[in-house]
Structure 1
Amino acid sequence: MNGKVVLVTGGGRGIGAETARILAARGAAVVINYVSNSEAANSLVHELTKQGSQALAVQADVRDEAQVKHLVNATVKAFGHIDALVSNAAMSFVRKPFLEMNWFEFSQKLNDELKAAFVLSQAVLPHMIQNHYGRIVYVSTELANHPQVPFIAHGTAKAGLSTFGRYIAKEFGPHGITANVVSPGLVDTERTRFQPEEFKKRMANMTPLGRIATPEDIARVIAFYTSDDSQFVTGFNVSVDGGLSI
C-alpha cells in the first residue's frame, strides 16, 4: 500500500479504526473521517503519526454533500490524490418488530445508509476516473442476507447498499475501479455492547471458528479489497462471519 491514499469513513473507532491501523502499517496514507468524536479520531491520528505513518482526521457528516465535498477536497489537498474509499460510517436505526414500526422510522435508515454511499461515491469517483484507478469498499452486514428480528430497517438498508455496490462495480469497472462489499457477522465493538454476554456466547458456539469477530478480523478483509491483491475482483459481497452463514 506504499503511496496509496485511503479515506476511511467512521474511522475513529471499531472496524474503521482497525482498518486505518492496518492500512497505515502497510504504507498507506489514511484519512480518518468522523462526525462527532474528535477525541477518538485525533488520538488515532497521533498514534499513527507517532509510528511514522501519514494520517489526517477530517470531520464530516457523510450524508451531507457539502461536508463530503470538503472531506474529499481535504484528502486531495493533503495527499495529492485518493486511491480508495472505505464506506464504513455507521448510521443509527430503530430496533422494533415490524408491526410496531412506522414508515418514518423504517425509511430513515434506508435514506441515511444509501445517501451516504451515494454522496461519497459521487465525490470520489471523478478523482478515481481521472487516475484510471480506484478501490471502493462498502461495509454492510450479514443481517442483509440472514434476517433477525428486530433488525428489519438495518438489514433492508444494508441489502440496498450491497446492490448499490454491484451497480457501481458494473458501471465503473472500465475505468480501472473496483467496488466490493464486506458483510460482517456479529463483531465485538462498542456498538454491540448492548448484546447480552449469553447471546454472544451462543453465537460463538454456533460459529464454526468458535468465536465472534474482532474489529481486526473485518479490517483485514477490507484491507485486502483496498489493495492490488484484489485487482481482478469486483462486484463481490463477502461474508466475514467465521463460517456462521454456512
Structure 2
Amino acid sequence: MQLSDQLVLITGAGRGLGAALARAFVREGASVIVNFCSSRDAANALASELGSRALALQADVRDRQQVDAMIATAEAHFGRPLSTVVNNALVGFSFNGDGRAKADSIRWQDFNQQFEGSVQAALNTVQAALPSMRTQKFGRIINVGTNLFQNPVVPYHDYTAAKAALLALTRTMAGDLGPDGITVNMLSGGLLRTTDASAATPDAVFDYIAANTPLREVTTPEQFADSALFFASPWSRAVTGQNLVVDGGLVRD
C-alpha cells in the first residue's frame, strides 16, 4: 500500500520525535492521527500546521478503551481504515545522565512506569489496530527503540529494560502476524538532537557522540523520521522482525 493511501497512527506525536514523524508522513501524502496525552496545545498546533491530512486526538495509550475510541474516531473522520501504527510515546522520562536513578536507588515502580509506557501501550495499539489491518490484509507496526541495547553508555536501567522488552515483543509479533500481511519492526535511535526528552543532555555529550559517528553528527528527529517511512512503505514488504539502528553509525553490530 502506498503511503498516500494510508492512515497512520503516531503515538506521542504532539512534540519532539513524534511531531517530526507526523510531518514526514504527511509530507509523503499519508493521513495522520496526531495522538497526544497531555500536550494538547502542541498537538492541535501541529495538526493545524499539517492541514486536512492530520487530526489531533487525545488518548492515553496505556488505556485500551481510550485507544479503541481514538481509532474509531479517526477512521470515521478520514473514511479509511488504519494501516500503520508508530509506537513512539515516551512516558515521563528525561535523558539526563546526572539525574538518572542509579542501581542502588532505582525503584521497581520506575521500571513499571516504563514498561507500561512501552510494552503495555504497544500491546494496546496493536490489538486495537488488528481488525482494520486484517480486513485489508495489510499492516505496518513500527516500534521506537534505542541503541542503548547494544551500547549502554549511560545505564538508564528502567528505560533500556522496557525498550528491550519491546524489541522482544516486536520479534514475537512479527512471527504471529506475518500470515495476516502485517509486518512488525523496530527503529532504534540514540540521543536525538534535540527533543524535549534530550533537552537536559549537556552539549559535551552531543559533541562526544558526533565525534564517534562516521557521519560526524548527531542524528536529528527529522532524519530518524525518514527511516520510518521505509518500514511503512511498499519497499519494506519482505522486512519484518527487524531492529534498524538509526544513529549515524555510532552502533554497528
Question: What is the TM-score when the length of structure 2 is the normalising length?
Answer: 0.92
Query: Within 2, Cα distance between the matches of 1:85 and 1:106?
Result: 24
- SS of the residue corresponding to residue 99 of structure 1 reads coil
In the alignment, is the contact (CA less than 8 A) between 1:145 and 1:159 conserved in 2? no
Q: Give 1:212 shift.
A: 0.6
In the alignment, is the contact (CA less than 8 A) between 1:7 and 1:75 conserved in 2? no
1:161 aligns with 2:166: yes
Aligned position for 1:202: 208
Aligned position for 1:123: 128
Aligned position for 1:137: 142
In the alignment, is the contact (CA less than 8 A) between 1:93 and 1:153 conserved in 2? no
1:73 aligns with 2:79: no
| Counterpart code for 1:26 | E
Query: Within 1, Cα distance between the matches of 2:111 and 2:65?
Result: 25
Identity of aligned residues (%): 40
In the alignment, is the contact (CA less than 8 A) between 1:14 and 1:215 conserved in 2? yes
Aligned position for 1:184: 189
Query: Within 1, Cα distance between the matches of 2:239 and 2:87?
Result: 18
1:193 aligns with 2:195: no
Q: Give 1:17 shift.
A: 1.0
| Counterpart code for 2:198 | T
Aligned residues: 243
Query: Within 2, Cα distance between the matches of 1:119 and 1:81?
Result: 17
Aligned position for 1:84: 84
| Counterpart code for 1:212 | V
Aligned position for 1:221: 227
Any stretches of 5+ residues in structure 2 without a counterpart?
Answer: 95-99
- SS of the residue corresponding to residue 71 of structure 1 reads helix
Any stretches of 5+ residues in structure 1 without a counterpart?
Answer: none
Query: Within 1, Cα distance between the matches of 2:105 and 2:153?
Result: 15
1:27-70 CA-to-partner distances (Å, cap 9, x unmatched) read 11111000011111111111111xxx511000000001111111
Query: Within 1, Cα distance between the matches of 2:107 and 2:83?
Result: 40
| Counterpart code for 1:186 | L
1:194-221 CA-to-partner distances (Å, cap 9, x unmatched) read 0111111111111111011110111000
